[in-house]
Amino acid sequence: MRTEVVDIRVRYNETDRMGIVHHSNYVYYYEMARTEFMRRLGVSYREMEERGVYLVVHEVHTKYLAPAYYDEILHVTVRLASEPQVKVTFEYEIRNDKGELLNTGSTVLASVDAVTRRPVRCPSWFVEMIKNGNN
């Protein structure tokens, strides 16, 4: 499936007293990468919502392997794990400039109708966009 790499610079407020990225920020990094992934596909979250579909976080998994530090550039690889159905799974790897693997994770998002707030299959236009690699 499709893969994108998004670069993120670690900001001071994302670190603890030792200058190490606080564990809670990795979920934000996943979201930043996923949002950019969607834009590169050719649709923003806003556009999806305007078209009547919300993608809501259902699960988050993360594994910490090594610390990231203040002012480092992190390379977040985001990969669509499988063809979207009602749920969409994204996988992540975060590396530093040395290529060291710092973190891995995944998120599962559920496709929800904007009006009824009930789960629905991902729209066919979205699935086709992913399959065809439209940007």
Chain CA centroid to CA 65, Å: 19
Write the single-letter amino acid at 12: Y
Catalytic member of 7, 16, 71, 113: 16
Element spanning 59, H or E: strand 53-64
DSSP-derived 3-state class of residue 118: coil
**Cα 35 to chain centroid, rounded:** 6
CA quadruple 30, 49, 119, 85: dihedral sign: negative
Active site residue 71: no
Q: Any idea which residues carry the catalytic annotation?
A: 16
